[in-house]
Amino acid sequence: MRYYVKSIVPIVESKYSSFTNVEKNIADFFLNNQRKMDFSAQNVAREIFVSEASLSRFAKKCGFHGYREFIYQYEETFAEKSEFVANSTRMILNTYQELLNKTYSLMDEAQIGRVVKYLFEAERVVACGKGSSGLAASEMENRFTRIGINIDSLQDSDRMRMQAVFQNGKSMVCGFSLSGENQDVLYLLREAHKRGAKTVLFTANDKDVYADYCSEVILVASLKHLNHGNVISPQFPVLVMMDIIYGNYINHSKYEKAEMYDDTLRALESVNTRIM
């Protein structure tokens, strides 16, 4: 049985865009490394032509007290790769497993609890995104509507900008953007925040500026630096995190929400029976 382990890889990936060129060089080394070696500051500094002080600053920027703590966790989670993979199916399944490990590493139970609280308190929820992120927003609407949440999903740029006007302190806006750079999604989050709404951004890139207008930034696993990452649906990491939130929401009012979900299924079944 394979157990989940905390990994520093998704942490480094989420901070990548905020690194200096030297720090990106260090990050690339740890993200792409496939072998065990002497990871002492002296040896790594010599290996990638940086100073030991740069390694220390890099580790602190990733949220560690110093390089020693960073490398301790890196070595703890460094696992040898299988030398032989039977077929592409096995490789893709391993990629999904690695994404689940990344999600486990990024998950913040206290944050999930806060988001669930926002959902309970909001009179209206809006989920928005473009492209594959828009499909994730639509899926959120489909799932949470079934348990009684008043939620709409938006994928159209004009509708996002118009809806920003109608948000208030009783609203919650969930924005989906893996790159964290979709301007329509960010506009809705900023304007909703100004009007007192709770705002939650689902993204694979962590930027300090999000703190100015996001109540919560939920980091999801990145598809970068994964074998066969290019054939994995970009929605998958978002949907996994959404399932975690959904499960926590259900557990807070287990019997009531389960009964409501069953009622919606029966309603759908009755419609299908009449059609047939």
Per-residue pLDDT tens digits for 160-184? 999 999 999 999 999 999 999 999 9
- Tell which wins on pLDDT, 133 or 254: 133
- Asked if residue 193 has pLDDT above 50, the reply is yes
Confidence of residue 10 (pLDDT cuts 50, 70, 90): confident
What are the domain boundaries of the chain? Answer: 9-79, 105-269
Per-position DSSP letters for the chain, written without gaps between them: -PPP---SHHHHHHHGGGS-HHHHHHHHHHHH--S-----HHHHHHHHT--HHHHHHHHHHTT-SSHHHHHHHHHHH--PPPS----HHHHHHHHHHHHHHHHHHH--HHHHHHHHHHHHH-SEEEEEESTHHHHHHHHHHHHHHTTT--EEEE--HHHHHHHGGG--TTEEEEEE-SSS--HHHHHHHHHHHHTT-EEEEEES---GGGGGT-SEEEE----TT-TTGGGS-TTHHHHHHHHHHHHHHHHHTHHHHHHHHHHHHHHHHHHHHHH-
The tally of CA atoms less than 13 A away on the side-chain side of residue 9 is 27
Amino acid at the residue 13: E
Domains 9-79 and 105-269 share a fold: no
pTM for the complete prediction?
0.68
Task: Judge contact between 257 and 148, C-beta under 8 A.
Answer: yes
Residue 34 confidence (pLDDT): 79
CATH architecture of 9-79: Orthogonal Bundle (1.10)
Residue 80 confidence (pLDDT): 47
Task: Judge contact between 109 and 211, C-beta under 8 A.
Answer: no
Task: State both tokens at 225.
Answer: 């630096």
What is the largest distance, in Å, between two alpha-carbon atoms of the chain?
A: 73
Averaged pLDDT for residues 91-119: 89
* Top-tier CATH class for 105-269: alpha beta
Amino acid at the residue 54: S
Identify the residue whose tokens are 């304007």: 191
